[in-house]
Structure 1
Amino acid sequence: MEQKEPMELGLQLLKDINIVRHNEFRFINAEFGFVTSFSKMETTIFKIGQPYRLQEGRIAIITNGRARVLINLIEYIFRPNYISLIAPGSIIQIIETSQDFDAHMMAIEHNFLPVSGKEEFFAHFLQRKKNLLLPLTTTEQVQIENFITVMWDVLQEPVFRKEVIQHLLAGLLYNIEYIAKNKGQSESSPLTHQNDIFQRFISLVNTYSKTERNVSFYADKLCLTPRYLNTVIRQASQQTVMDWINQSIILEAKVLLKHSNRLVYQISDELNFPNPSFFSKFFKRMTGMTPQEYQKN
């Protein structure tokens, strides 16, 4: 049987007109996607509690309601008048939403941006895969909504005005950059040493947990002793280093179990378990069900 890669929420998949009931609330092509109302298009893709891997970077402007969302193991609360930037390759899991939750959303293929130095420009996307969630003032809300309105109007033209959208998008991201910097300068307490270590540790776990499960590996990467790393992570998160590593492995396992046709023993091999029995016992201990039960649930 030909193996399918784990499903990624990418623009190629989202172009399928059958995954939503109301296509008039979205524009999708191979480079750029824009959803003007997440709730009104009534997608069949998202399911509460199901993890997905995002192929492209995302911008979400929350307009109504609330949502609890895990992004690379970290929980975020999406609420009105917040804007979120999510790194490419992130694993996202919606834990719960209010019935009235809604948002504008964009998906951006990396090369779509019409600027040089994309690595610096997408600092919030690419540096340590750090995600961003910002509250907006009333003035900032109006500015962002003005960008959204103009972009959506341009997208209604019969011919895709690529260069116009590219430069409006660049302007929007530069504006978000200014907002983030201003809020960072006004914060009374900068990022603590403890939280800085925690953020760097989580980024390493998201990158290496499929192959590296030893505390010493992560301590070496951070130039710390294993004992000190465990102490800092427990103080910052009330969880141990191994707790976070195990959660990351389970998240990868869930994506593979739901979005590929790999057999359990193949997933066990991919996640570097010594044998399928060990993987199944680990999965059941962490989730309360076997891998097969999770696939069928």
Structure 2
Amino acid sequence: MNHSKKTTSAFQHLNLINLSVLKEAVHLNNELILIDNFNFASTSDDESLFFTQYPVKLSFTVVIIVFSGSMHYRINLEELWAYSNDLITVQKGAIGEFLHSSPDLQVAVIAFSNELFHMNDHLEVAMKMQQMLYENPVKHLSGESLKEIRMVYELMKKKIIENDNPFRKEILQGYVRALMYTILHKLLETLQQVPAYIQNNRQHEIYMQFIREVQRNYQKERSVAYYADRLCITPKYLSQTVQKASGRLAGEWISEYVILEAKALIKSHCYTIQQISEMLHFPNPSFFGRYFKKKVGCTPKAYQKNIR
């Protein structure tokens, strides 16, 4: 794997422009990025492709296809492993963090904007798809399915460099749609094997709705009461339900998201503590400092100093 291009600064939001400058990347107007390490030698270094050693919020959807080896990462605070023949789908707005990869990791990365792939004519299907991908970010593929998706990727890679093709974008949009609907089909096959009582579990449904609301609002709202109101239930019932479904209190999940973003912003070295406090809508830096210390065990300045 090639590691000659080392990332030197963090991004609060990892966007497609950031990816397009990588030497491994080919792109279409910063709307679609393709990256792979098929032609690079393996290495034991943990840094790979665009993956960063700190949490980032994605401003695009990314599909990662693992052809060999393994990778260890977090998506929205959940720690996951992916192995050979696994397909990872991470949606726009998710917080991701790359942790480690095996020396023999071989992957292809397809990153695209929501403008390139949308389902405005099928909103009900789109919402179902988003929910399924959120709940099932990793899908293990059969050899036949992996071969099919590899073929789509190779077609995209070939077409994306045809700069003189006036229909290049439309063709690539078709490939992206084919890829996403293939992923959806594989997820539907998996869900058909899940017992109905699990699929329709009310506690799990409330927990997933709560997490989605937290993802959208944690920068501004940190009270359990706010999220309970959004779900039209009482704070007590929300807390009890989330704890039963996840083993953690609702307030802990909210704090985890706030602290995760705070750490990412601090690690970026792009903002002052005061600016971060304002970005996360704390009343003042002192309040933010006390909140951070209570959750992390040190002040934001001490945390920043330790990671230099």
State TM-score, norm by structure 2.
0.81
Once superposed, what is the RMSD of the aligned Cα atoms?
A: 2.9
* 1:247 CA drift (Å): 0.5
Question: Aligned residue for 2:3?
Answer: none
Question: Aligned residue for 2:58?
Answer: 54
Cα 1:123–1:225 shift into 2, 3 Å: closer
Between the aligned partners of 2:242 and 2:292, the Cα distance in structure 1 is: 23
Between the aligned partners of 2:111 and 2:277, the Cα distance in structure 1 is: 32
Bigger mean CA offset, 206-215 vs 252-261: 252-261
Bigger mean CA offset, 182-191 vs 128-137: 128-137
Q: Is the counterpart of residue 170 in structure 1 residue 177 in structure 2? A: yes
Query: Contact 2:19 / 2:25 at 8 angstroms: preserved in 1?
Result: no
Partner SS state of residue 145, structure 2 = helix
Question: Aligned residue for 2:144?
Answer: 139
Cα 1:251–1:114 shift into 2, 3 Å: closer
Cα 1:125–1:9 shift into 2, 3 Å: farther
What is the identity, as a one-letter code, of the residue corresponding to 2:112? I
Query: Contact 2:20 / 2:27 at 8 angstroms: preserved in 1?
Result: yes
Between the aligned partners of 1:76 and 1:197, the Cα distance in structure 2 is: 22
Between the aligned partners of 1:76 and 1:287, the Cα distance in structure 2 is: 22
Picking from 80, 83, 87, the partner of 1:76 is 80
Q: Is the counterpart of residue 106 in structure 1 residue 81 in structure 2? A: no
Partner SS state of residue 115, structure 2 = helix
Picking from 146, 154, 157, the partner of 1:149 is 154
Partner SS state of residue 147, structure 2 = helix
Question: Aligned residue for 2:6?
Answer: none
Q: Structure 1 regions of 5+ residues with no counterpart?
A: 18-22
What is the identity, as a one-letter code, of the residue corresponding to 2:147? V
Between the aligned partners of 1:276 and 1:38, the Cα distance in structure 2 is: 47
Q: Is the counterpart of residue 95 in structure 1 residue 109 in structure 2? A: no
Question: Aligned residue for 2:233?
Answer: 224
* 1:225 CA drift (Å): 2.1
Question: Aligned residue for 1:20?
Answer: none
Question: Aligned residue for 1:14?
Answer: 19
Query: Contact 1:219 / 1:225 at 8 angstroms: preserved in 2?
Result: yes
* 1:244 CA drift (Å): 0.6
* 1:118 CA drift (Å): 6.9
What is the identity, as a one-letter code, of the residue corresponding to 2:303? Y
* 1:245 CA drift (Å): 0.8
Between the aligned partners of 1:215 and 1:114, the Cα distance in structure 2 is: 32
Question: Aligned residue for 1:215?
Answer: 224
* 1:288 CA drift (Å): 3.4
Moved over 6 A (4+): none
Picking from 252, 268, 272, the partner of 1:263 is 272
Aligned residues with identical type, % of pairs:
29
What is the identity, as a one-letter code, of the residue corresponding to 1:278? F
Q: Is the counterpart of residue 35 in structure 1 residue 35 in structure 2? A: yes
Between the aligned partners of 1:139 and 1:58, the Cα distance in structure 2 is: 22
Cα 1:134–1:46 shift into 2, 3 Å: closer
* 1:294 CA drift (Å): 3.1
Partner SS state of residue 147, structure 1 = helix
Cα 1:128–1:164 shift into 2, 3 Å: closer
Query: Contact 1:36 / 1:104 at 8 angstroms: preserved in 2?
Result: yes
Between the aligned partners of 2:83 and 2:244, the Cα distance in structure 1 is: 27
Query: Contact 1:7 / 1:53 at 8 angstroms: preserved in 2?
Result: yes
Between the aligned partners of 2:116 and 2:96, the Cα distance in structure 1 is: 23
Query: Contact 2:89 / 2:133 at 8 angstroms: preserved in 1?
Result: no
* 1:6 CA drift (Å): 5.4
Q: Is the counterpart of residue 206 in structure 1 residue 215 in structure 2? A: yes
